[in-house]
């Protein structure tokens, strides 16, 4: 994606609880003279900020022009991942454009299995078993999160249904009372005019 030099860009990622997230990014600055994006941008860094669904800051750190950030979610839900450059120029003078390559890996996709196999000296069969265990664990976390979301949705639906019911009853009562008042008012009007 492309952003301005002082612009902030945020992404929302739905993450179950106790799930590791790894983000890799690389930033390229637009060169106005050559009219190309520079392969590396020394001196330019990115500030990464991650907030959980409750708005608490999980990660807030300054990185270089390319890097990797890691965090573990402790609350299920939509996590906000925001990136902006460390440019200190005022918005009026900062006319540079940035190209940011961002790759976010969630859960067992974040594991580097060749590195794990080399470190723990695992055979191919042991490594595959570990991958399957990680996948099962991730599926279980996803199912728990979906149950949590379903419960929240059910509570919201029941609350909305209750409000609609009481609103309908209130409207009916107001309509009946208005009708009774109008009949009495008309009756007293016609009696006053001696038409009845």
Q: What is the pLDDT of residues 86-113, one digit of tens each?
A: 765 544 444 678 888 888 888 776 677 7
Final residue before a domain boundary, out of 67, 95, 111: 111
Q: Is the pLDDT assigned to residue 168 strictly greater than 80? A: yes
Range of the domain at 73: 2-111
Q: Is the domain of 77 the same as that of 123?
A: no
Give the range among 71-85, 113-127, 146-160 with minimum mean pLDDT.
113-127
Tell me what pLDDT residue 196 has.
Answer: 61
Q: Is the domain of 84 the same as that of 126?
A: no
Phi, psi of 181 (to 5 degrees): -65, -40
> Both tokens of residue 49?
């900020």
Final residue before a domain boundary, out of 81, 111, 141: 111
Q: Is the domain of 81 the same as that of 10?
A: yes
Domain count, the chain: 2
**Helical (H) or strand (E) element with 99:** strand 97-106
Tell me what pLDDT residue 92 has.
Answer: 41
Q: Is the domain of 107 the same as that of 126?
A: no
Distances from the Cα of 168 to the Cα of 98, 162, 176, 181, angstroms: 55, 10, 12, 20
Give the range among 37-46, 67-76, 85-94, 106-115 with minimum mean pLDDT.
85-94
Distances from the Cα of 109 to the Cα of 20, 44, 74, 138, angstroms: 9, 29, 18, 10
Final residue before a domain boundary, out of 62, 85, 111: 111
> Both tokens of residue 78?
């939509």
Q: Is the domain of 125 the same as that of 145?
A: yes
Q: Is the pLDDT assigned to residue 40 strictly greater than 80? A: no
CATH code (residue 8): 2.60.120.380
Q: Is the pLDDT assigned to residue 84 strictly greater than 50? A: yes
Q: Is the domain of 184 the same as that of 168?
A: yes
Inter-axis angle of helices 113-120 and 124-192, nearest 10: 140
Q: Average pLDDT, stretch 19-32?
A: 84
Q: Is the domain of 66 the same as that of 123?
A: no
Q: Is the domain of 95 the same as that of 166?
A: no
Q: Is the domain of 124 the same as that of 101?
A: no
Give the range among 61-70, 90-99, 117-126, 187-196 with minimum mean pLDDT.
90-99
Tell me what pLDDT residue 109 has.
Answer: 67
Tell me what pLDDT residue 77 has.
Answer: 87
> Both tokens of residue 180?
């009774």
């Amino acid at each position: 994606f492309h952003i301005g030099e002082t612009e902030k860009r945020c992404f929302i990622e739905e993450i179950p609880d106790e799930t590791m997230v790894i983000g890799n990014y690389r930033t390229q600055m637009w060169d106005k003279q050559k009219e190309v994006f520079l392969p590396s941008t020394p001196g330019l860094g990115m500030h990464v900020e991650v907030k959980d669904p409750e708005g608490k800051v999980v990660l807030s750190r300054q990185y270089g022009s390319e890097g990797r950030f890691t965090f573990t979610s402790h609350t299920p839900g939509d996590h906000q991942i925001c990136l902006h450059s460390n440019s200190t120029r005022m918005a009026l003078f900062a006319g540079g454009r940035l190209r940011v390559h961002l790759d976010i890996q969630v859960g067992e996709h974040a594991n580097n299995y060749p590195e794990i196999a080399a470190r723990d000296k695992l055979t191919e069969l042991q490594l595959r078993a570990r991958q399957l265990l990680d996948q099962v664990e991730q599926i279980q976390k996803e199912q728990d999160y979906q149950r949590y979301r379903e419960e929240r949705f059910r509570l919201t639906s029941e609350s909305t249904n209750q409000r609609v019911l009481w609103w309908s009853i209130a409207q009916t009562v107001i309509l009946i009372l208005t009708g009774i008042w109008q009949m009495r008012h008309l009756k007293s009007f016609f009696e006053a005019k001696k038409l009845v």
